[in-house]
Amino acid sequence: MANRKRLPNPILCPALVVPSAAAPGGARSFLQAVSKVTEEAPTPLRVVQMEGLAVLKIIKHCEEFAPALVTGQLLGLDVGSVLEVTNCFPFPIREEDDEADADGANYQLEMMRCLREVNVDNNTIGWYQSCLLGSFQTVELIETFMNYQESIRRCVCIVYDPSRSSQGVLALKALKLTDSFMDLYRNNGLTGEKLREKKLSWVDIFEEIPIKVSNSALVSAFMKELEPESPVTQCDFDRLKLSTAPFMERNLEFLIGCMDDLSSEQNKFQYYYRNLSRQQSQQQAWLQKRRQENMARKAAGEEPLPEEDPSNPIFKPIPEPSRLEGYLVTNQISSYCNHINGVAGQNFNRLYLMKSLHED
Protein backbone atom coordinates (compact mmCIF):
# COMPACT_ATOMS: atom_id res chain seq x y z
CA MET A 1 0.00 0.00 0.00
CA ALA A 2 1.11 3.57 -0.62
CA ASN A 3 2.40 5.72 2.22
CA ARG A 4 -0.39 7.68 3.86
CA LYS A 5 0.10 11.39 4.46
CA ARG A 6 -1.76 13.25 7.17
CA LEU A 7 -3.43 16.21 5.56
CA PRO A 8 -3.22 19.69 7.11
CA ASN A 9 -6.10 21.20 9.03
CA PRO A 10 -8.04 23.91 7.20
CA ILE A 11 -7.06 27.51 7.85
CA LEU A 12 -9.82 29.91 6.92
CA CYS A 13 -9.76 33.69 6.71
CA PRO A 14 -12.61 35.52 8.48
CA ALA A 15 -15.60 36.05 6.26
CA LEU A 16 -16.39 39.58 5.20
CA VAL A 17 -19.62 40.70 6.88
CA VAL A 18 -21.52 43.45 5.12
CA PRO A 19 -23.96 45.18 7.51
CA SER A 20 -27.33 46.08 6.12
CA ALA A 21 -29.87 48.51 7.49
CA ALA A 22 -33.06 47.04 8.86
CA ALA A 23 -36.00 47.41 6.54
CA PRO A 24 -38.91 49.52 7.78
CA GLY A 25 -41.83 47.76 9.37
CA GLY A 26 -39.73 44.77 10.40
CA ALA A 27 -39.49 43.50 6.79
CA ARG A 28 -36.44 41.48 5.83
CA SER A 29 -33.82 43.04 3.60
CA PHE A 30 -33.03 41.57 0.19
CA LEU A 31 -29.70 40.13 1.41
CA GLN A 32 -31.41 38.47 4.38
CA ALA A 33 -34.07 36.95 2.16
CA VAL A 34 -31.51 35.60 -0.29
CA SER A 35 -29.42 34.21 2.56
CA LYS A 36 -32.43 32.41 4.03
CA VAL A 37 -33.38 30.90 0.68
CA THR A 38 -29.79 29.73 0.19
CA GLU A 39 -29.76 28.07 3.61
CA GLU A 40 -33.06 26.33 3.03
CA ALA A 41 -32.38 25.03 -0.48
CA PRO A 42 -28.65 24.87 -1.27
CA THR A 43 -27.85 24.44 -4.94
CA PRO A 44 -26.19 21.08 -5.64
CA LEU A 45 -22.65 21.22 -6.98
CA ARG A 46 -22.62 20.33 -10.68
CA VAL A 47 -19.16 21.18 -11.99
CA VAL A 48 -15.72 22.32 -10.82
CA GLN A 49 -14.38 24.96 -13.18
CA MET A 50 -10.60 25.26 -12.98
CA GLU A 51 -8.36 27.91 -14.47
CA GLY A 52 -5.65 26.49 -16.70
CA LEU A 53 -2.99 28.20 -14.58
CA ALA A 54 -4.26 26.49 -11.41
CA VAL A 55 -4.19 23.10 -13.16
CA LEU A 56 -0.60 23.66 -14.29
CA LYS A 57 0.45 24.70 -10.77
CA ILE A 58 -1.03 21.52 -9.31
CA ILE A 59 0.64 19.31 -11.92
CA LYS A 60 4.00 21.04 -11.51
CA HIS A 61 3.95 20.73 -7.70
CA CYS A 62 2.94 17.05 -7.74
CA GLU A 63 5.38 16.08 -10.50
CA GLU A 64 8.36 17.80 -8.87
CA PHE A 65 8.02 15.88 -5.60
CA ALA A 66 6.79 12.53 -6.98
CA PRO A 67 6.66 9.84 -5.66
CA ALA A 68 6.35 11.77 -2.37
CA LEU A 69 2.81 12.86 -1.53
CA VAL A 70 2.16 16.61 -1.43
CA THR A 71 -0.84 18.83 -0.71
CA GLY A 72 -1.88 22.41 -1.33
CA GLN A 73 -4.71 24.91 -0.89
CA LEU A 74 -7.38 25.63 -3.49
CA LEU A 75 -8.64 29.19 -3.79
CA GLY A 76 -11.61 30.48 -5.76
CA LEU A 77 -15.32 31.23 -5.67
CA ASP A 78 -18.52 29.34 -4.98
CA VAL A 79 -21.03 30.55 -7.59
CA GLY A 80 -24.35 28.70 -7.73
CA SER A 81 -23.81 25.15 -8.95
CA VAL A 82 -20.24 25.90 -10.07
CA LEU A 83 -17.16 25.86 -7.87
CA GLU A 84 -14.52 28.01 -9.54
CA VAL A 85 -10.86 27.23 -8.80
CA THR A 86 -8.92 30.33 -9.80
CA ASN A 87 -5.66 29.86 -7.90
CA CYS A 88 -3.76 27.56 -5.56
CA PHE A 89 -0.56 27.38 -3.54
CA PRO A 90 1.42 24.42 -2.14
CA PHE A 91 1.82 23.44 1.49
CA PRO A 92 5.41 23.04 2.72
CA ILE A 93 6.55 19.50 3.43
CA ARG A 94 7.04 19.19 7.20
CA GLU A 95 7.30 16.71 10.00
CA GLU A 96 4.12 15.68 11.81
CA ASP A 97 4.26 17.42 15.20
CA ASP A 98 2.46 20.26 16.98
CA GLU A 99 5.15 22.85 16.30
CA ALA A 100 5.18 22.02 12.59
CA ASP A 101 1.37 22.27 12.49
CA ALA A 102 1.55 25.77 13.97
CA ASP A 103 4.18 26.80 11.42
CA GLY A 104 2.03 25.41 8.62
CA ALA A 105 -1.01 27.34 9.84
CA ASN A 106 0.98 30.57 9.97
CA TYR A 107 2.31 29.89 6.48
CA GLN A 108 -1.22 29.45 5.08
CA LEU A 109 -2.48 32.63 6.72
CA GLU A 110 0.51 34.60 5.47
CA MET A 111 0.07 33.28 1.93
CA MET A 112 -3.62 34.22 1.85
CA ARG A 113 -2.82 37.65 3.27
CA CYS A 114 -0.26 38.25 0.52
CA LEU A 115 -2.71 37.11 -2.15
CA ARG A 116 -5.38 39.43 -0.77
CA GLU A 117 -2.98 42.37 -0.91
CA VAL A 118 -2.38 41.82 -4.64
CA ASN A 119 -6.14 41.47 -5.30
CA VAL A 120 -6.11 37.70 -5.97
CA ASP A 121 -8.94 35.39 -4.88
CA ASN A 122 -8.12 34.15 -1.38
CA ASN A 123 -11.33 32.27 -0.50
CA THR A 124 -10.59 28.69 0.56
CA ILE A 125 -12.70 26.17 -1.35
CA GLY A 126 -10.78 22.98 -0.65
CA TRP A 127 -7.39 21.45 -1.18
CA TYR A 128 -5.47 19.33 -3.66
CA GLN A 129 -3.20 16.36 -3.10
CA SER A 130 -1.15 13.90 -5.07
CA CYS A 131 -1.55 10.15 -4.89
CA LEU A 132 0.22 7.02 -6.09
CA LEU A 133 -1.72 4.84 -8.53
CA GLY A 134 -5.05 6.11 -7.23
CA SER A 135 -4.42 5.19 -3.58
CA PHE A 136 -6.14 8.17 -1.99
CA GLN A 137 -9.20 6.66 -0.31
CA THR A 138 -8.15 6.75 3.33
CA VAL A 139 -9.65 7.64 6.68
CA GLU A 140 -7.38 10.70 6.82
CA LEU A 141 -8.99 12.05 3.64
CA ILE A 142 -12.47 11.71 5.16
CA GLU A 143 -11.39 13.38 8.41
CA THR A 144 -9.95 16.31 6.45
CA PHE A 145 -13.21 16.61 4.51
CA MET A 146 -15.16 16.75 7.75
CA ASN A 147 -12.82 19.43 9.13
CA TYR A 148 -13.36 21.56 6.05
CA GLN A 149 -17.12 21.01 6.14
CA GLU A 150 -17.28 22.59 9.61
CA SER A 151 -16.27 25.96 8.12
CA ILE A 152 -17.02 25.74 4.40
CA ARG A 153 -20.43 24.84 3.05
CA ARG A 154 -19.05 23.25 -0.10
CA CYS A 155 -15.49 22.12 -0.70
CA VAL A 156 -13.73 19.66 -2.98
CA CYS A 157 -10.48 17.77 -3.06
CA ILE A 158 -8.57 17.71 -6.35
CA VAL A 159 -6.57 14.49 -6.64
CA TYR A 160 -3.73 14.24 -9.15
CA ASP A 161 -1.93 10.97 -9.92
CA PRO A 162 1.50 11.51 -11.57
CA SER A 163 2.04 7.78 -12.18
CA ARG A 164 -1.18 7.40 -14.17
CA SER A 165 -0.61 10.67 -16.01
CA SER A 166 2.70 9.29 -17.28
CA GLN A 167 0.66 6.67 -19.17
CA GLY A 168 -0.93 9.34 -21.36
CA VAL A 169 -4.05 10.08 -19.28
CA LEU A 170 -4.55 13.29 -17.28
CA ALA A 171 -5.41 11.66 -13.93
CA LEU A 172 -7.12 14.66 -12.35
CA LYS A 173 -10.40 14.31 -10.50
CA ALA A 174 -12.53 16.37 -8.13
CA LEU A 175 -14.07 14.56 -5.16
CA LYS A 176 -16.52 15.38 -2.39
CA LEU A 177 -18.27 13.33 0.26
CA THR A 178 -21.91 12.45 -0.27
CA ASP A 179 -24.42 14.09 2.08
CA SER A 180 -25.82 10.75 3.27
CA PHE A 181 -22.37 9.48 4.22
CA MET A 182 -21.49 12.70 6.08
CA ASP A 183 -24.67 12.46 8.15
CA LEU A 184 -23.85 8.91 9.21
CA TYR A 185 -20.21 9.77 9.90
CA ARG A 186 -21.15 12.72 12.14
CA ASN A 187 -23.51 10.52 14.16
CA ASN A 188 -21.04 7.59 14.40
CA GLY A 189 -23.56 5.50 12.52
CA LEU A 190 -21.22 3.42 10.35
CA THR A 191 -22.62 0.16 11.69
CA GLY A 192 -24.21 -2.60 9.71
CA GLU A 193 -27.74 -1.79 10.90
CA LYS A 194 -27.47 1.94 10.11
CA LEU A 195 -25.88 1.31 6.73
CA ARG A 196 -28.63 -1.13 5.77
CA GLU A 197 -31.27 1.32 7.01
CA LYS A 198 -29.86 4.16 4.87
CA LYS A 199 -29.08 1.75 1.99
CA LEU A 200 -25.52 3.08 1.88
CA SER A 201 -22.94 0.94 0.10
CA TRP A 202 -19.22 1.36 -0.48
CA VAL A 203 -19.84 3.22 -3.75
CA ASP A 204 -21.78 5.96 -1.92
CA ILE A 205 -18.87 7.44 0.05
CA PHE A 206 -17.31 9.71 -2.56
CA GLU A 207 -18.94 11.65 -5.35
CA GLU A 208 -16.84 12.65 -8.34
CA ILE A 209 -17.62 16.09 -9.74
CA PRO A 210 -16.91 16.82 -13.44
CA ILE A 211 -13.97 19.15 -14.05
CA LYS A 212 -14.07 21.87 -16.69
CA VAL A 213 -10.82 23.64 -17.55
CA SER A 214 -11.32 27.22 -18.70
CA ASN A 215 -8.90 29.83 -20.03
CA SER A 216 -9.27 33.45 -20.95
CA ALA A 217 -9.49 34.40 -24.63
CA LEU A 218 -5.97 35.84 -24.48
CA VAL A 219 -4.50 32.61 -23.09
CA SER A 220 -6.38 30.53 -25.65
CA ALA A 221 -5.02 32.69 -28.49
CA PHE A 222 -1.49 32.38 -27.09
CA MET A 223 -1.79 28.59 -26.86
CA LYS A 224 -2.99 28.50 -30.46
CA GLU A 225 0.16 30.35 -31.48
CA LEU A 226 2.31 27.81 -29.63
CA GLU A 227 0.60 24.82 -31.25
CA PRO A 228 3.04 23.10 -33.65
CA GLU A 229 2.21 22.82 -37.31
CA SER A 230 2.98 19.09 -37.44
CA PRO A 231 0.01 17.11 -36.14
CA VAL A 232 2.25 14.22 -34.99
CA THR A 233 4.70 14.71 -32.14
CA GLN A 234 6.99 12.44 -30.18
CA CYS A 235 4.35 12.26 -27.45
CA ASP A 236 1.95 10.70 -29.96
CA PHE A 237 4.50 8.03 -30.90
CA ASP A 238 5.03 7.24 -27.23
CA ARG A 239 1.42 6.08 -27.03
CA LEU A 240 2.31 3.10 -29.22
CA LYS A 241 4.77 1.67 -26.70
CA LEU A 242 3.82 -1.87 -25.75
CA SER A 243 5.83 -2.02 -22.52
CA THR A 244 3.50 -1.27 -19.59
CA ALA A 245 4.80 -4.05 -17.33
CA PRO A 246 6.01 -1.78 -14.48
CA PHE A 247 2.66 0.02 -14.29
CA MET A 248 0.71 -3.24 -14.30
CA GLU A 249 3.02 -4.83 -11.74
CA ARG A 250 2.61 -1.99 -9.27
CA ASN A 251 -1.17 -2.01 -9.69
CA LEU A 252 -1.25 -5.74 -9.05
CA GLU A 253 1.07 -5.32 -6.06
CA PHE A 254 -1.20 -2.70 -4.52
CA LEU A 255 -4.25 -4.79 -5.36
CA ILE A 256 -2.79 -7.76 -3.48
CA GLY A 257 -2.08 -5.48 -0.50
CA CYS A 258 -5.70 -4.29 -0.54
CA MET A 259 -6.93 -7.87 -0.63
CA ASP A 260 -4.86 -8.61 2.49
CA ASP A 261 -6.36 -5.52 4.17
CA LEU A 262 -9.86 -6.62 3.23
CA SER A 263 -9.18 -10.09 4.65
CA SER A 264 -8.05 -8.48 7.92
CA GLU A 265 -11.25 -6.43 8.07
CA GLN A 266 -13.33 -9.56 7.50
CA ASN A 267 -11.46 -11.33 10.31
CA LYS A 268 -12.38 -8.43 12.64
CA PHE A 269 -16.08 -8.91 11.93
CA GLN A 270 -15.84 -12.68 12.22
CA TYR A 271 -14.25 -12.22 15.65
CA TYR A 272 -16.99 -9.74 16.59
CA TYR A 273 -19.80 -12.07 15.55
CA ARG A 274 -18.20 -15.01 17.38
CA ASN A 275 -18.01 -12.94 20.57
CA LEU A 276 -21.58 -11.76 20.05
CA SER A 277 -22.82 -15.33 19.60
CA ARG A 278 -20.88 -16.45 22.70
CA GLN A 279 -22.35 -13.58 24.73
CA GLN A 280 -25.89 -14.40 23.63
CA SER A 281 -25.39 -18.03 24.66
CA GLN A 282 -24.11 -16.91 28.08
CA GLN A 283 -27.08 -14.57 28.47
CA GLN A 284 -29.53 -17.35 27.65
CA ALA A 285 -27.86 -19.71 30.12
CA TRP A 286 -27.86 -17.05 32.85
CA LEU A 287 -31.50 -16.15 32.14
CA GLN A 288 -32.56 -19.78 32.29
CA LYS A 289 -30.76 -20.20 35.62
CA ARG A 290 -32.33 -17.03 37.02
CA ARG A 291 -35.81 -18.19 36.01
CA GLN A 292 -35.29 -21.46 37.83
CA GLU A 293 -34.19 -19.50 40.90
CA ASN A 294 -37.29 -17.28 40.67
CA MET A 295 -39.54 -20.34 40.48
CA ALA A 296 -37.94 -21.69 43.65
CA ARG A 297 -38.30 -18.30 45.37
CA LYS A 298 -41.97 -18.09 44.39
CA ALA A 299 -42.55 -21.54 45.81
CA ALA A 300 -40.91 -20.38 49.05
CA GLY A 301 -43.02 -17.18 49.06
CA GLU A 302 -40.08 -14.83 48.38
CA GLU A 303 -39.81 -11.92 45.94
CA PRO A 304 -38.44 -12.93 42.50
CA LEU A 305 -35.12 -11.52 41.37
CA PRO A 306 -34.90 -9.31 38.25
CA GLU A 307 -34.21 -11.16 35.04
CA GLU A 308 -31.60 -8.62 33.96
CA ASP A 309 -28.48 -7.61 35.85
CA PRO A 310 -26.72 -4.57 34.29
CA SER A 311 -23.71 -5.11 36.57
CA ASN A 312 -23.12 -8.54 35.06
CA PRO A 313 -20.36 -8.40 32.36
CA ILE A 314 -22.31 -10.69 30.04
CA PHE A 315 -24.97 -7.97 29.61
CA LYS A 316 -22.43 -5.32 28.60
CA PRO A 317 -22.95 -4.65 24.86
CA ILE A 318 -20.03 -5.48 22.58
CA PRO A 319 -19.24 -2.49 20.34
CA GLU A 320 -19.55 -3.28 16.66
CA PRO A 321 -16.45 -2.40 14.59
CA SER A 322 -16.82 0.45 12.13
CA ARG A 323 -17.29 -0.61 8.53
CA LEU A 324 -15.56 2.50 7.21
CA GLU A 325 -12.16 0.87 6.70
CA GLY A 326 -13.70 -2.08 4.88
CA TYR A 327 -15.71 0.24 2.64
CA LEU A 328 -12.61 2.27 1.78
CA VAL A 329 -10.55 -0.83 1.01
CA THR A 330 -13.34 -2.17 -1.22
CA ASN A 331 -13.47 1.18 -3.00
CA GLN A 332 -9.71 1.05 -3.50
CA ILE A 333 -9.88 -2.49 -4.87
CA SER A 334 -12.49 -1.37 -7.40
CA SER A 335 -10.24 1.52 -8.42
CA TYR A 336 -7.23 -0.76 -8.99
CA CYS A 337 -9.34 -3.22 -11.00
CA ASN A 338 -10.56 -0.38 -13.21
CA HIS A 339 -6.97 0.77 -13.76
CA ILE A 340 -5.84 -2.73 -14.72
CA ASN A 341 -8.85 -3.21 -16.98
CA GLY A 342 -8.22 0.10 -18.73
CA VAL A 343 -4.50 -0.53 -19.29
CA ALA A 344 -5.15 -4.08 -20.48
CA GLY A 345 -7.74 -2.81 -22.97
CA GLN A 346 -5.31 -0.22 -24.33
CA ASN A 347 -2.59 -2.86 -24.67
CA PHE A 348 -4.88 -5.11 -26.70
CA ASN A 349 -5.69 -2.20 -29.00
CA ARG A 350 -1.99 -1.53 -29.50
CA LEU A 351 -1.30 -5.18 -30.22
CA TYR A 352 -4.04 -5.35 -32.86
CA LEU A 353 -2.74 -2.11 -34.36
CA MET A 354 0.83 -3.41 -34.52
CA LYS A 355 -0.41 -6.68 -36.01
CA SER A 356 -2.20 -4.77 -38.77
CA LEU A 357 0.91 -2.69 -39.47
CA HIS A 358 3.08 -5.80 -39.77
CA GLU A 359 0.60 -7.46 -42.10
CA ASP A 360 0.54 -4.40 -44.34
Each residue's pLDDT tens digit, 246-266: 777 888 888 888 888 888 888
pLDDT, tens digit only, all 360 positions of the chain: 444 444 444 444 433 332 333 333 444 444 444 344 444 556 788 899 988 888 999 999 988 887 788 888 898 888 888 888 888 888 887 666 556 566 667 777 888 788 777 777 778 888 999 888 777 888 888 888 888 887 787 889 999 988 887 777 788 889 888 888 888 888 877 777 778 777 888 888 888 899 998 888 887 787 777 776 665 555 555 566 666 667 778 888 888 888 888 888 888 888 888 888 888 888 888 888 888 888 888 888 788 877 777 677 777 888 888 888 888 888 888 888 887 887 777 777 777 777 777 776
Residues 149 and 289 in one domain: no
Q: In which element (H, E) is residue 163 found? A: helix 162-165
Domain membership of residue 113 (yes or no) is yes
pTM, 2 dp: 0.70
Residues 179 and 69 in one domain: yes
Instruction: Examine the fold and report which residue of 209, 239, 269 is the final residue of a domain before the chain moves on.
Output: 239
Domain membership of residue 327 (yes or no) is yes
Write 38-46 long-range contacts (CB < 8 A, 24+). 42/153, 42/154, 43/80, 43/81, 44/81, 45/81, 45/82, 45/83, 45/154, 45/156, 45/176, 45/209, 46/81, 46/82, 46/209, 46/210
Residues 314 and 283 in one domain: yes
- The predicted pLDDT at position 244 comes to 64
Domain membership of residue 21 (yes or no) is no
- The predicted pLDDT at position 128 comes to 92
- The predicted pLDDT at position 99 comes to 60
Residues 193 and 273 in one domain: no
Residues 208 and 172 in one domain: yes
Q: Residue 164 belongs to what domain range? A: 47-239
- The predicted pLDDT at position 17 comes to 31
Residues 84 and 219 in one domain: yes
- The predicted pLDDT at position 7 comes to 46
Domain membership of residue 253 (yes or no) is no
Residues 332 and 194 in one domain: no
Q: Where are the beta strands (DSSP E) in the chain?
A: 47-51, 71-79, 82-90, 124-130, 156-160, 172-177, 206-209, 211-214
- The predicted pLDDT at position 16 comes to 32
Instruction: Examine the fold and report which residue of 206, 239, 272 is the final residue of a domain before the chain moves on.
Output: 239
Number of domains observed in the structure of the chain: 2
Residue 249 has phi, psi (to 5 degrees) of -65, -45
Domain membership of residue 336 (yes or no) is yes
Residues 169 and 214 in one domain: yes
Domain membership of residue 283 (yes or no) is yes
Rounded to whole angstroms, the Cα distance separating 136 from 351 reads 32
What CATH number is associated with residue 115?
Answer: 3.40.140.10
- The predicted pLDDT at position 237 comes to 58
Rounded to whole angstroms, the Cα distance separating 178 from 183 reads 9
Residues 86 and 235 in one domain: yes
Domain membership of residue 251 (yes or no) is no
- The predicted pLDDT at position 1 comes to 45
Residues 119 and 77 in one domain: yes
Residues 219 and 265 in one domain: no
Domain membership of residue 306 (yes or no) is yes
Residues 223 and 280 in one domain: no
